[in-house]
Amino acid sequence: MSTARPAPPPPKAPPKASAQTAIVNVGPISVNRGRRLTAQRIELYGPGGIGKSELVENMKKVGIEPLVLDTDNETNHLNIDRVDVSNWQSLRAAVQDKELIGPYGAVVIDNMSKAQQLAQEYAVANIPHEKGHTVQRFEDYGFGKGYSHVYELMLLLLGDLDSAVRAGKHVVLIAHDCVTQVPNPAGEDYQRYEPRLNDQKNGNVRSRVKEWCDHMLYVGYDVFAKDGKGQGAGTRTIYTTELPSWLAKSRYLSEPIPYEKGSPELWKQLFSKGE
């Protein structure tokens, strides 16, 4: 008399993958060595009329043709190619237009302080209040809440500019300056020059642009104080590193650059490194 064999137990389910055990096939991983000569992200800021736009015109002397997206009619005196930008939509559309920017070596926004204002105007016209109703003024969002909308819009613009950089275009952002109070945990607070962009806690465009760019350069007049009065001869300098008097940074420039009228020295130093 034969007896039936018991059915084999069901196969065990494979263990669930966890963040520690999951393996993702990403293909071969390669190691790259050495400096990459890629397009660069540059911010220039300083007082109005010091010659920031003229610096852009001088790019042509090192073989880089700039396309200027003029947000405030500040380049009419320059011999450059420009697109007049009157609203937020046209600014982003110009940056995204591959055929438009294709022939140029650099995309320039002149200026970012005005571009931020265009973003604010767009927010009021298109982004409703958190309760669903439209707003008539920026202040109608409530205390500080509108700045988060502007911050998100400016992030979209930086994303557009990243696409231009990946396409091999240098990006230059021009901004006006302002004097701001700097909290100093090590001692007394102090003042310094910074780009005139929002620095609110819930929408700090100024800090985000600094993080984003490869070079944040301050263009200033050479002045010194004597007997409580400012002294100077109208000469200018481009500052590449941060000091208590101004906000600045550079991936590889470390010395101030004298700014003489018509000189392309800044661009020679920026675009010859690593060659």
Q: What average pLDDT is seen over the chain?
A: 89
> Alpha-carbon torsion 44, 49, 50, 54, what sign?
positive
Q: Compute the distance between CA of residue 64 and CA of residue 83 in angstroms, rounded to an integer.
A: 17
pLDDT score recorded for residue 7: 64
Q: Return the SS3 of 69.
A: strand
pLDDT score recorded for residue 106: 97
**The model's pTM:** 0.85
Between 16-20, 174-178, 254-258, the lowest mean confidence (pLDDT) is in 16-20
Contact yes or no for 218/46 (Cβ under 8 A): yes
User: pLDDT tens digits for 44-77?
Assistant: 999 999 999 999 999 999 999 999 999 999 899 9
pLDDT score recorded for residue 143: 82
Specify the pairing of strand 41-46 against strand 215-221.
parallel
Average pLDDT over residues 180-190: 91
Q: Compute the distance between CA of residue 240 and CA of residue 219 in angstroms, rounded to an integer.
A: 9
What percentage of the chain carries pLDDT values higher than 90?
Answer: 68
Q: Return the SS3 of 220.
A: strand
Contact yes or no for 173/126 (Cβ under 8 A): no
